[in-house]
Structure 1
Amino acid sequence: MAVDLICEDPRWDALNLAALAAPACAAALAEVGLDPDDWDISLLGCDDVRIAALNADFRGKPSPTNVLSWPSDERAAGIDGEMPPPPDPSDPELGDIAIAYDTCAKEAEAAAKPIAEHATHLIVHATLHLLGFDHERDGDADLMEGLESRILVAMGYADPYGEDAG
């Protein structure tokens, strides 16, 4: 699997975003039965100013957020709580992710988690979005959160939605 990484904020370099992203993306893909070697993802490590501009441009919300994702194709499930259809294997590009250091760091601190753990969660979350998972409907949210929990626990992290979640 290729994670094409662009770091616009040097704080991501200090955290070694590349070393966090590759296993997080691979774990998310493997959890849904996809071979990580078959897929490509682009990741932008940025700051709150950049992600606020992206959020304004693409979602009409001119404020920072933790992570954004742009799937290369519409993959959402038609029925609430069902698995989305798998991506087309003839097009290995799954889409793009942007993650903001400032918001990620603030959220990690508020949850009393290491920033690397929270960033890994956000990358897993965004990768699932690229695969068509969402959390707008209750059944979809339950499915997505369950996947995130299994992936992160298997990676050695705490369950982000468990009783001890921050």
Structure 2
Amino acid sequence: QAALWNGLVHGGLSTLATDEYPTSLALKMRGKTIEDVTGGNVGAEARMGIGFTEGVGKRGMSLERYVDITSTNAAKILGLYPRKGVIAPGSDADFALIDPTIRKTLTKDDFHVTDYSPWEGWQVTGWPVMTILRGRVIAERGKLLGSTGDGQLLTRKIDPRVLNRPAC
């Protein structure tokens, strides 16, 4: 864990991602061994707050580096930059606003798509309060304001260098 955070903070790793596959607790508990437990967990909603708490708050990560690992680098790797991953003229204006003064203990009720959370009891300082998609507020203080039709399928072009080695 320490080596992973060191890589995120100092540039050895390019992105902070999740294995997003929310399931019910009942489905998760059906597995008897590590080989037959349903993979993934609810992580996308926790990623920004936990990343901010652990990276910026506890390990001194710069805000610029935090933006890189949560947005810019993924957009570059996936061939979506500069349309995504940056706030600039001509870009889509997709971003999350984090209130660094929020201190809270996470519960399953902080998440929208499952009846449990592996993050239950986790202490965070800094939590997203608003999400903007193409310049429109789609989530605010835990309330979803967007609709299922808000997404867009984007054409992307992956730089050949990404296919050969890390790009960021």
TM-score, normalised to structure 1's length?
A: 0.30
Kindly indicate whether structure 1 or structure 2 has the higher relative contact order, using CA contacts under 8 Å at least 6 residues apart.
Answer: 1
Report the structure, 1 or 2, having the larger helix content.
1
TM-score, normalised to structure 2's length?
A: 0.30
**Higher alpha-carbon Rg:** 2
